[in-house]
Structure 1
Amino acid sequence: MENLIYIKEFSEYPGLRHCSISDDSGEEYYHSILNTTFKDCYEKGLKLVVNLDFTAGYAPSFLDEAFGNLIYDFGVDTVQKFLEIVSEQEPDLKEMILTETFAQWEERRKNDDEPKKTKEHQNWFRLKDGELITKSN
């Protein structure tokens, strides 16, 4: 089984990396939708499918921040097991996420280089030593 979400349901016009510089940012998408949805799928043993299609386009920084935070909080092995990114319209962006973002953010995770938060967010989840913990600003 799987759970399917479309970024277009968050915004037809995704913004930039951080909340402090644009509306509908990658940071906001991660904290308002992706983190909790992924955590729920992880707990249920379901694959989360994220569809990149049907938006007006993306700044690479939006995707890097959203999916990078996911790698930081859950680790590359868990994300690769429970996440599938699909895109008919933007296959190069999917490839960028899988090859560049995943590797760079896994390195950040290993180095404890915490992601920047530019506004207060609701609590979010992180997998640490095989256990889900709740994080806050």
Structure 2
Amino acid sequence: MAKVIKVASDFTRFPYGRYRSQGKFSGEAFRDDVLLPLLKAGQSVEVDLDGTSGLSPSFLEEAFGGLVRAGLEVERILQQVKIKSDDDPSYIDEVKEYVRDAGLVH
């Protein structure tokens, strides 16, 4: 069973930026502090993006595309990570695209 991570309540309603240097609620912080430990332990996750004040492309790319740069394989990420976004369903395809694109250059 997948662990559900609700970004708005489990991380912040105001995710911002790519790197930690841009704030404590960056894509890098979400990836390293929330996603990577679960994925490296073999846990599947459902990331619920609803309820945030908005999600920048830099946050999403670093959080999810950055998983490839952190050493995870594209197919493993796509199997272990499910994205939920009723507020803006386009985020689902956007995240998958970032993961696939990161795999092309990594």
2:28 alignment counterpart:
27
Count of paired positions: 104
Using the alignment, how far apart are the partners of 2:19 and 2:93 within structure 1? Answer: 22
Q: TM-score, normalised by structure 2?
A: 0.88
1:54 alignment counterpart:
51
Q: Per-residue deviation at 1:15?
A: 0.8
The one-character-per-residue Cα deviations of 1:19-61 (angstroms, maximum 9, x if unpaired) are 1123311011111111102222x2xxx4211111111111110
1:4 alignment counterpart:
4
> Identity over aligned residues, as a percent?
28
Structure 1 spans left out of the alignment, 5+ residues: 110-137
More helix by share: 2
Q: TM-score, normalised by structure 1?
A: 0.70
- Select the structure of larger CA radius of gyration: 1
Using the alignment, how far apart are the partners of 1:97 and 1:2 within structure 2? Answer: 18
2:66 to 66, 69, 73: 69
Aligned-pair RMSD on alpha carbons?
Answer: 1.4
Q: Per-residue deviation at 1:94?
A: 1.5
Contact 2:46–2:83 under 8 Å retained in 1: yes
Structure 2 spans left out of the alignment, 5+ residues: none
Using the alignment, how far apart are the partners of 1:10 and 1:48 within structure 2? Answer: 14
Using the alignment, how far apart are the partners of 1:21 and 1:55 within structure 2? Answer: 18
Superposition pairs for residues 41-120 of structure 1, below 5 Å? Answer: 42=42, 46-72=43-69, 73-99=71-97, 101-109=98-106
Runs of 4+ in 1 over 4 A off after TM superposition: none
Using the alignment, how far apart are the partners of 1:20 and 1:2 within structure 2? Answer: 31
Q: Per-residue deviation at 1:3?
A: 1.3
